[in-house]
Structure 1
Amino acid sequence: MHYLSSGQGSAVILIHGLFGDLDNLKGLGKSLEERHRVVRVDVPNHGLSPHWQKMDYPLLAQAVITLMDSLQLARAHILGHSMGGKIAMATALSYPDRVTSLIAADIAPVSYQQRHDQVFSGLEGIDLSGLKSRSEALKQLLAAGLDEGTAQFLLKNLSRTNQGFNWKMNLAGLKSSYRDLIAWYNDIEAEDFLQYSKPTLFIRGGDSDYITSEHRQAIMSQFPQVQAKTIEGTGHWLHAQKPAIFNRIVSDFLAKHDSK
């Protein structure tokens, strides 16, 4: 995986969500640099990371461990937002000895309904071969029914070269893997379901429906040492909407559970 590393101290790996890249958690990373080695990653099929035909959480967790091995990190705190939170959870569940603590931002260890049909349709509707400008792409996404904030976020994936425009993300790979990405593989009804029993923090947006009371059993069964925080007045993009509060919650949790 492509990554950027900064700062010194105990390692913290930051993992972005679907259609994002390592810049999504840049502000959080900067706030942690004084006390931690911060590693921000591009998830496969995003940013500058390799394109995969198949993505699922066991494979993505393995990719995190492979990166840690290459960086000679025996263990790390891992934080992820949305899809990145599921990658963080999968890594902690499958490789608990490598994960000092876990933070999941506005995502639960459950399967979700499809939410991104309009996004995929809008992105696929853009004819890159005939595209003349970013503003033209924005108009097409708005015409497809996407709000401007979502459209601008998605267009961070648009790259321009001498040959024209292309997507940095692997749009086809994301679509073919989408069912695996909204699903969850750790069945708490199974006898051998996985648990991560180290410090865990779930942070939810007060206006978001990604974590609800219905998810309580699934969370506590898989992460028995869990704490929860709610940031009122935020939705799914809680870290961008109230960054000072979000960053302080993360920093305080890491300080409390840092390995000595």
Structure 2
Amino acid sequence: MDGTTQAESTVELAPGYRTRVLDRGGGRVVVLLHGTPFDVRAWLPVVRAVDGRCRTVCFDARGHGSATDVPVAGYSRLADDVVALLDRLDLPDVHLVGHSWGGQTAQRVALEHPERVNRLSLICTRASPFPAFATVAQGLRDGTADPEASLSRWFTPEELAEPHGVAATVGSWLRAADRTRWADALEMISTFDDLAQLAGIAVPTDVVAAEDDGVAVPEHMAQIAEAVPAASSRVLEGARHLVPLQRPDEIADILLGRR
């Protein structure tokens, strides 16, 4: 599977779970797991930034994007979905990259299926509970939460003022997101607690924090880096939570081992 590919397809990874897969490029394989309530589009700036230097594969997790009709599942089931995709593409092991909620799934893959991961990159994610998201999830369910409230945490006032910028695009994604699926994922984040198990991850691991991230705060990302034996850490100065969208060139350099 070293040949160059450039394809979008719809595949069934489990009974009742059909999803969009983007497979682009050739060479070393990097599999990208998105956060919530996003989908494969959240990785496109990074995909473009690494174009020609590796093969990128990304897909819509359960409850997101093309798979909105599929209920969100637990982390072990989400990890099994990643393995099912690798099996379908005949990929024995890959460089696995997870952002935010996707970073938690990536942790589970590395712990439950270590033979399928040759390198791990955890970007702006958590390994211990974030209880405040349970309240946000309830607000999404009962209609009291503003789906665009996160924009002020993710973007500067200047970015928010740009009518056709990244913030405007993300705002449209949030308005269109399925609130039930989003709430399900936020509840998972609110109780996720793998920090004590991370010592079991043996592969080289990039831990990437954003200086101004209010959820995956740099102090917590430092705890993750300390827990993983073969981890290296980096804090992107002045960055916020959505670094794959806002700082794709820097993320690309990290994934390619250039930083």
Same fold, TM-score > 0.5, yes or no:
yes
**Is 1:89 the equivalent of 2:97?**
no
Whichever of the two has the greater Rg, that structure is 1
- Alpha-carbon distance in 2 for matches of 1:141, 1:115: 13
Q: Secondary structure at the match of 1:43?
A: coil
Decide whether aligned partners of structure 1 residues 214 and 239 sit closer, same or farther in structure 2, where only a CA change above 3 A counts.
closer
TM-score w.r.t. the length of structure 2 is 0.75
Counterpart amino acid of residue 155 in structure 1? S
- Is the CA contact 2:211–2:235 (under 8 Å) kept in the aligned structure 1? yes
Identity, in percent, stands at 22
- Is the CA contact 2:198–2:224 (under 8 Å) kept in the aligned structure 1? no
Decide whether aligned partners of structure 1 residues 220 and 193 sit closer, same or farther in structure 2, where only a CA change above 3 A counts.
closer
Counterpart amino acid of residue 47 in structure 2? G
- Alpha-carbon distance in 2 for matches of 1:116, 1:89: 21
- Alpha-carbon distance in 2 for matches of 1:145, 1:35: 33
Shift of 1:247: 1.9
Q: How does 1:48-197 map to 2 (within 5 A)?
A: 48-49=66-67, 51-115=69-133, 117=135, 121=139, 125=143, 147=152, 152-156=169-173, 169-186=177-194, 188=196, 195-197=200-202
- Alpha-carbon distance in 2 for matches of 1:230, 1:116: 27
Counterpart amino acid of residue 175 in structure 1? A
- Is the CA contact 1:29–1:40 (under 8 Å) kept in the aligned structure 2? no
Shift of 1:145: 9.2
Aligned position for 1:130: none
Q: Secondary structure at the match of 2:251?
A: helix
- Alpha-carbon distance in 1 for matches of 2:220, 2:62: 30
Picking from 237, 242, 249, the partner of 1:237 is 242
- Is the CA contact 2:131–2:190 (under 8 Å) kept in the aligned structure 1? yes
Decide whether aligned partners of structure 1 residues 141 and 112 sit closer, same or farther in structure 2, where only a CA change above 3 A counts.
closer
Aligned position for 1:220: 226
How many aligned positions are there?
A: 227
Aligned position for 1:29: 47
TM-score w.r.t. the length of structure 1 is 0.74
- Is the CA contact 1:208–1:236 (under 8 Å) kept in the aligned structure 2? yes
- Is the CA contact 1:202–1:228 (under 8 Å) kept in the aligned structure 2? yes
- Alpha-carbon distance in 1 for matches of 2:243, 2:57: 20
**Unmatched segments (≥5 aa) in structure 2:** 1-18, 153-159, 161-165
Decide whether aligned partners of structure 1 residues 218 and 157 sit closer, same or farther in structure 2, where only a CA change above 3 A counts.
closer
Q: Secondary structure at the match of 1:207?
A: coil
**Unmatched segments (≥5 aa) in structure 1:** 127-139, 159-166
CA RMSD of aligned residues (A): 3.1
- Is the CA contact 1:75–1:98 (under 8 Å) kept in the aligned structure 2? yes
